[in-house]
Amino acid sequence: MRLVKLTVLAKPGARETRVERVDERTVRVWVRERPEGGEANRAIVRALAVFMDVAPSRLTILSGHTSRRKIIQVGD
């Protein structure tokens, strides 16, 4: 699998967890978890993994750990 970088627009504290594609390299991810102790980041990775049908271990947050705008790498 080749490496792909996605821009993720995070929406923590949402009523439901869902993922919406904005364009080829950007997605919005709503998660119920709050951004406390990294809970929202872990939930975002899980939601993206399900959406993309890949293992969560294949996703890495490269930047934006404390921001709503994140760059996530998908691949090995």
d(CA 31, CA 68): 12
Task: Please state the domain extents for the chain.
Answer: 4-74
Fold (CATH) for 4-74? Conserved Hypothetical Protein Mth637; Chain: A; (3.30.1200)
In tens, the pLDDT along 5-59 reads: 999 999 999 999 999 999 999 999 999 999 999 999 999 999 999 999 999 999 9
- Report the predicted TM-score, pTM, of the whole model to 2 decimal places: 0.93
List beta partners, residue 12: 31
Per the structure block, which two tokens stand in for 3? 């490496």
Tell me the mean pLDDT in the region 59-76.
95
